[in-house]
Amino acid sequence: MSLPIWTLDALQSETRKISGLWWRLVEAQHHVSTMKLVDTVDEQSLLEDILEGSKRRFPPECAGLDYLLATPFRYDAAYPYGSRFRRAGYTKGVYYAAAKVETALAEMAFYRLLFYAESPATPFPANAAEYTAFSVEIGTSAAIDLTLPPLSDNDAVWTHPTQYEPCQALADVAREAEVEAILYRSVRDPEGGQNVALLTPLGFKKKQPVERISWRIRLAKTGIQALCEFPMRRIGFAVEDFAGDPRIDRLLNT
């Protein structure tokens, strides 16, 4: 695959201002996973502090940030696998989020199904799992948008389901150009919702999540069902919704 060539000056000329709320999901067990190991809340607090001290360090720009916002920017250990805008290895962090919670759910659904597609001997969980969807406020005057011309002329390259090298190369140049965020179309959302790749924690306008919503998500070979009780919402994804990725085809053929 040939790589689109975008120079530092060219990317700087395409920067624009963005602001708004962006959504991400995490497993809800991060709130209570250590409770079963201790007898009191004081012991849990001490255990959490010990565990936190053993993890990778945060860059100075993360000072004061809630850990949900700061965690993607930990640096000390090698990033095990590359993602769309981050290379594997000792590389700077990227905070991925979606403009709509539906898109964030689609991203989560895809990667959960991908795990089981690549681990065929692992049985699907019998029960639904608890997740927390949370929004953060992001604002910067140094963003580029891959869904708008002229960058969108390379849309097929930016949205390839498995080949991330062009996007990673673009992110390398974007950092040199002091670009703080990259807007792009979700490859996993069947509706093609908008995502953001935040390249620096300086793009957060508030240090805490703005809103948190609980979801129950059930996985099966036929797809994923997501339920939010307050406010009541139901969202479902079939495995076929993600068939554009050849790795998911394994679930369709079993």
204: nearest Cα among 84, 102, 86, 63: 63
Question: What are the tens digits of pLDDT across the range 98-141?
Answer: 999 999 999 999 999 999 999 988 999 989 999 999 999 999 99
Mean per-residue pLDDT for 46-63? 64
- pLDDT bucket at 198, cuts 50 / 70 / 90: very high
pLDDT digits (tens, 9 = 90+) for 5-22: 899 999 999 999 999 999
Residue 2 lies in a domain: no
**Can you give the pLDDT at residue 47?**
47
- The arithmetic mean of pLDDT across residues 200-229, rounded, is 94
Band (pLDDT 50/70/90 cuts) for residue 1 is low
Contacts of residue 68, defined as CB under 8 A and 6 or more positions apart, other chains included, come to 24, 26, 134, 136, 209
Residue 54's pLDDT is 44
Task: Dump pLDDT digits (tens) for 153-186.
Answer: 999 999 999 999 999 999 999 999 999 999 999 9
Residue 1 located in a structural domain: no
Overall number of domains in the chain? 1
pLDDT score for 48:
53
| pLDDT at res. 253 | 75
Q: Show the domain range for 155.
A: 8-252
More confidently predicted of 90 and 99:
99
Residue type, 31: H
What's residue 145's pLDDT?
Answer: 98
* Residue 132: both structure tokens together: 């927390």
Q: What is the pLDDT of residue 251?
A: 81
State the average pLDDT over residues 200-207: 97
3-state secondary structure the chain: CCCCCCCHHHHHHCCEEEEEEEEEEEEHHHHCCCHHHCCCHHHHHHHHHHHHHHCCCCCHHHCCCCHHHHHHHCCCCCECCCECCECCECCCCCEEEECCHHHHHHHHHHHHHHHHHCCCCCCCCCCCEEEEEEEEEEEEEEEEECCCCCHHHHHHHHCCCCCCHHHHHHHHHHHHCCCCEEEEECCCCCCCCEEEEECCHHHECCCCCCEEEEEEEEEECCEEEEEEECCEEEEEEEHHHHCCCHHHHHHHCC
Residue 119 lies in a domain: yes
Mean pLDDT of the chain: 88
How much is the pTM?
0.88
Reply yes or no on whether the pLDDT at 3 is more than 70. no
Task: With a cut of 70, say whether residue 39 has pLDDT above it.
Answer: no
Q: Span 44-54, mean pLDDT?
A: 50
Residue 35 has pLDDT above 90, yes or no: no
Residue 46 lies in a domain: yes
Token readout for 195 is 């995502």
* Residue pair 28/130 in contact by the 8 Å Cβ criterion: yes
